[in-house]
Amino acid sequence: MTLPVRPAVLNSPDYPFSPVDAPIKLDQNESFADFPDRLKAIALERLRHLPWHRYTDLHAESLSEAIAAHDGWSASGTVVTTGSNVLIALLIQLCALGGRVVTVTPNFALYALDARLLGASLTEVPLRDDASLDMDAVIASLGASQSDGPHGVIYIPRPHAPTGSLCALDELERLAQACPGWLLVVDEAYHHFAPDDARELARRHDHVVLLRTLSKAWGLAGLRLGYALASDSVARQLRKLVPPFGVSLMQSVCAQVALEHAGYVRERVATTLQERERMATALQAHPTWRALPSHANFLLIRTPDASAAHAALLAQGVLVRRQDSLHGLQGCIRVTVGTADENSAFLRAAGLGA
Ligand X SMILES: *Cc1c(COP(=O)(O)O)cnc(C)c1O
Binding residues for ligand X, rule: CB under 6 A, are: 29, 83-85, 108, 157, 161, 187, 189, 213, 215-216, 221, 226
Nearer residue to ligand X within complex by CB, 187 or 342: 187
DSSP-derived 3-state class of residue 210: strand
Which amino acid would we find at residue 238? Answer: L
Nearer residue to ligand X within complex by CB, 118 or 161: 161
Q: What's the closest the beta carbon of residue 163 comes to ligand X, in angstroms? A: 11
Alpha carbons 26 and 1: distance in angstroms, whole number: 43
Nearer residue to ligand X within complex by CB, 220 or 345: 220
Alpha carbons 290 and 284: distance in angstroms, whole number: 7
Nearer residue to ligand X within complex by CB, 133 or 350: 133
Alpha carbons 18 and 10: distance in angstroms, whole number: 20
- DSSP per-residue string spanning 294-345: -SSSEEEEE-S-HHHHHHHHHHTTEE-EE-TTSTT-TTEEEEE---HHHHHH
Which residue has its beta carbon closest to ligand X?
83
Q: What's the closest the beta carbon of residue 83 comes to ligand X, in angstroms? A: 3
Give the Cβ contact number of residue 48 at 10 Å: 8
Cis? peptide before 16, omega within 30° of 0: no
Q: What's the closest the beta carbon of residue 107 comes to ligand X, in angstroms? A: 8
Q: What's the closest the beta carbon of residue 170 comes to ligand X, in angstroms? A: 22
Beta bridge partners of 301: 291, 333
Nearer residue to ligand X within complex by CB, 215 or 323: 215
Residue pair 337/190 in contact (Cβ under 8 Å)? The answer is: no
Nearer residue to ligand X within complex by CB, 112 or 282: 112
Q: What's the closest the beta carbon of residue 30 comes to ligand X, in angstroms? A: 9
Q: What's the closest the beta carbon of residue 2 comes to ligand X, in angstroms? A: 32
- Strands 182-187 and 152-157 come out as parallel
Nearer residue to ligand X within complex by CB, 221 or 314: 221
**DSSP H helical ranges for the chain:** 7-10, 37-48, 61-71, 84-95, 110-117, 135-141, 169-178, 199-204, 232-239, 249-260, 263-283, 306-315, 340-349
Q: What's the closest the beta carbon of residue 137 comes to ligand X, in angstroms? A: 20
Rg of the chain, C-alpha, whole Å: 21
Nearer residue to ligand X within complex by CB, 259 or 354: 259
Q: What's the closest the beta carbon of residue 213 comes to ligand X, in angstroms? A: 3
Alpha carbons 344 and 273: distance in angstroms, whole number: 15
